[in-house]
A and B are shown apart, each in its own frame.
Chain A
């Protein structure tokens, strides 16, 4: 389905070869705990980030990511080994996160601390990153959920528009549009932050 497979994810993390994923999934389905463990290790950071894009709260996001892995383990027989494992899993993660958000009262992103929100003094690099992180999370929280997922899956996790469409269950054109609008908002925020600096 992917037409332009990037050799690496944006963060420099190499993609897992599809054959390897399929083999691991088949072994996990047959009850091989080590194979399931390997899949969890490889996809845990990605699943947690995607869940956090939906839920904001890190604990809720981890709970949703865990639900997704357990659900994937049960549904492994539905996985088509001819297709990449990541989009299949991320669809489960996105659904688990959305379900959890619906079940619980939506926790709003915690308000920024005054010194962070106001672009106050930035004593060191770590504090700068913290400020930017807070701002980005707050900006993400303002975006519609599908748009949030779209930009994180595309720009952070390196999925193609076609894969995004598959994960989110929307037409590819809509997926492109969601990424475009999310980027416009987030880039403007990044630009402001740079100019403040």
Chain B
């Protein structure tokens, strides 16, 4: 053991080191190592284990997403349907044939043959 030491002495003191090592020696390492590894396995298993509430929460999230997507699709389809619905003016323009004129200008209830004729004219 060195009797004196400078503050900047960069060498370890072997005698003091050995005495301290003996004083702090923890004993057989095997049980400690086994304990740490067992705890590590447990911790890993706990990390991989998903709690029931998490599963339910995940389902709820998926359900909400699916409902939102369905609502979006339905809204889009309804919007398209409303946009594509023909107005009376469109019918008038499209049905410019004689059958249609007769149907709209007659004061009596339409005859089925007249309605059919106007439809056939429109489809031509």
Hey, which bits of chain A sit against chain B, CB under 8 A? 4, 6, 10-11, 33, 36-37, 40-41, 44-45, 48-49, 52-53, 58, 61-62, 65-66, 69-70, 73-74, 129, 132-134, 136-137, 140, 151-152, 154-156, 158, 160-161, 176-177, 180, 183-184, 186-187, 190-191
Main secondary structure of the interface of A (DSSP, over half): helix
Q: Can you give 25 contacting A-B residue pairs, CB < 8 Å? A: A10-B12, A10-B21, A44-B33, A49-B25, A49-B26, A52-B26, A62-B26, A66-B35, A70-B40, A70-B43, A73-B40, A74-B43, A133-B23, A134-B23, A136-B20, A155-B12, A155-B17, A156-B24, A160-B10, A180-B7, A183-B16, A186-B16, A186-B20, A187-B3, A190-B1
Contact with B22, one of A73, A133, A154 (Cβ below 8 angstroms): A133
A41 touches B8 (CB 8 A): no
Contact with A156, one of B1, B6, B17, B27 (Cβ below 8 angstroms): B17
Given contacts A66-B36, A70-B36, 14 further A-B contacts (CB under 8 A): A33-B40, A44-B32, A45-B29, A49-B26, A58-B26, A65-B36, A155-B16, A155-B20, A158-B17, A183-B13, A186-B20, A187-B1, A187-B2, A187-B13
Residues of A contacting B18 with CB < 8 Å? 10-11
The interface centre, meaning the residue of B7, B15, B23 with most chain A CB atoms within 10 A of its CB, is B23
Interface size class of B (residues with CB under 8 A): 35 or more
The 7 lowest CB-CB distance pairs between A and B, nearest first, are A48-B26, A10-B17, A155-B17, A133-B23, A136-B23, A49-B24, A180-B7
Hey, which bits of chain B sit against chain A, CB under 8 A? 1-3, 5-10, 12-27, 29, 32-33, 35-37, 39-41, 43
Residues of B contacting A140 with CB < 8 Å? 20, 23
